Amino acid sequence: MTSAVARRLESLRTKGAIKDIEVANLLGTRPETVSRWNQGRAYPRANTEKTLLELEYIIEQLADFYEPNEARQWIFAPQRLLGGTSPAELIRAGRIDDVMRLVGQLRDAVHL
C-alpha cells in the first residue's frame, strides 16, 4: 500500500513529468529523502509537505491545458510574466504563492 505522499509524488511524475530528483531540488531536500518518502519510510516536514501539496496543485492546474512534458517545461523555463524568472526558481526561493497566482491568471485566460 502506498502512502499519501508517494501518491502525490506519482501525480507529479505522471501529470507533470517531474522526476523525483527535480522534486528534491524544488523542495530543497535530497533525492534520497524523496526516495524514502516514496517507500513510506519517512515523511516530509510540515512546511515541506505544504510546498509539495502546492506543487501538486500547480501541476494539476497546468494539466488541464498542458501535456506532462509541457507542464514540466513551463515549471523550469523562464517566464515573461515572472520577469524572466522560472517558476522553479520562485518555488525554491519560497515564493510558490507567486507561481500559484500566475497559474490562476493563465487558467483565467484559457477559460475566457
Share of the chain above pLDDT 70, in %: 96
- For residue 108, what pLDDT is reported? 86
3-class SS at 101? helix
Those residues with Cβ within 8 angstroms of residue 110's Cβ, 6 or more apart along the chain or in another chain: 64, 65
* Long-range contacts (CB closer than 8 Å, 24 or more residues apart) made by 67-71: 68/14, 68/15, 68/16, 68/17, 69/17, 71/15, 71/16, 71/17
- For residue 111, what pLDDT is reported? 61
3-class SS at 19? coil
The pLDDT of 21-41, averaged and rounded, is: 96
- For residue 107, what pLDDT is reported? 85
pTM exceeds 0.85? yes
Instruction: State the chain's mean pLDDT as an integer.
Output: 94
- For residue 2, what pLDDT is reported? 75
User: What are the extents of the domains in the chain?
Assistant: 4-110
